[in-house]
Amino acid sequence: MRPCNVFQEVRLSVTSKISPIPAFSDNYIWLLENADGSAIVVDPGESQPVEQELATRGLRLTTILITHHHFDHVGGVEALKAAHGCEVYGPDNPDIAGIDNTLAAGDRIQVGDYAFRVLEVPGHTLDHIAYFQADPAPLLFCGDTLFAGGCGRMFEGNPPMMHNSLSQLAELPGDTAVYCAHEYTLANLAFAQAAEPDNAALKARASDAAAMRERGEPTVPSNIALERATNPFLRTTNPGIHKGLQAAGKTADDNPATVFASLRAWKDSF
């Protein structure tokens, strides 16, 4: 089966109760609808798009989940909390205003119909966390750590830290739906093809993603199996990645963290 079909299948199997709210130029605020008509939002960088979606769908906001402190992920928290009295969960960072419940690795929370385990995934920022649900459907809300076909820049962490965080996510079940926070997929896949030009699955994915964007559709969620097969930052031990780095005159050796560092530095200037 072609990997692009894997992508299409996961998009069809993901519950319709989870939907993206576009914000800014390329952010996604994720909205999770509970059976009782309440709602959860993840990383609301703006309040107005959330308010509009809640009103359109007749939902009441009860919970906000935060992955990290960047403004485009937390900018709407205070206004939404003031308007709805919702409960806010997030990393243990006093610079994030409005958090009621601070979370750390291994914490488990039940919010509405969803049961999440908290993963610490520093690198993009030092406070970055992710929310993983194993059952009944495996879901991952990973903010800016793992993107469709790529990963976040290291604004606060270092390559070994970020590589370790991505490796942790790569070990999740293959059918885990990956809800990242930005529509960066086409740019990520363009770089991925430069890094691993002989990857047939990657070429098929890039074609599918381009068609989705032409239709005005989000390219996310992805899934972990597809990321393992096509995301260069999860493929640091793959010979094709080493070949691509060498062809581009970049450092490549047998240390996966060093390979990751070379890939990330290349992507930063790509």
Mind listing the pLDDT tens digit for each residue in 67-93?
A: 999 999 999 999 999 999 999 999 999
Domains held by the chain: number = 1
Can you give the pLDDT at residue 252? Answer: 67
For the cut 60, the answer to whether the pLDDT of residue 4 exceeds it is: no
Tell me how crowded residue 183 is: count the other CB atoms within 10 A of its CB. 19
For the cut 60, the answer to whether the pLDDT of residue 40 exceeds it is: yes
Instruction: Kindly compute the dihedral angle of the four CA atoms of residues 56, 59, 60, 63, in this order, to the nearest 10 degrees.
Output: -110
Known catalytic residues are 68, 70, 72-73, 124, 144, 182
Average pLDDT for 165-191: 98
Can you give the pLDDT at residue 14? Answer: 43
Mind listing the pLDDT tens digit for each residue in 92-127?
A: 999 999 999 999 999 999 999 999 999 999 999 999
The two tokens of residue 150 are 């790529």
Amino acid at 45: G
User: What's the angle, vertex CA 198, arms to CA 195 and CA 199, rounded to 5?
Assistant: 85
Q: Which residues contact 108 (CB under 8 A, 6 or more apart)?
A: 115, 116, 117, 118
Can you give the pLDDT at residue 47? Answer: 98
CATH number for the domain spanning 75: value is 3.60.15.10
Can you give the pLDDT at residue 13? Answer: 39
| Residue 218 to residues 19, 115, 144, 189, Cα–Cα distance (Å) | 10, 25, 16, 14
The pTM of this model reads: 0.93
Can you give the pLDDT at residue 207? Answer: 97
| Residue 187 to residues 23, 33, 52, 119, 133, Cα–Cα distance (Å) | 19, 30, 29, 27, 28
Residue 235 is part of which domain span?
3-268
Query: How far is it, in rounded angstroms, from Cα 1 to Cα 21?
Result: 31
Can you give the pLDDT at residue 115? Answer: 97
Q: Are strands 38-42 and 27-33 parallel, antiparallel or unpaired?
A: antiparallel
Can you give the pLDDT at residue 253? Answer: 79
Average pLDDT for 50-68: 97
The two tokens of residue 56 are 């359109």
Contact (Cβ atoms closer than 8 angstroms) between residue 238 and residue 15: no
- Alpha-carbon dihedral sign for residues 80, 81, 87, 92: positive
Amino acid at 126: L
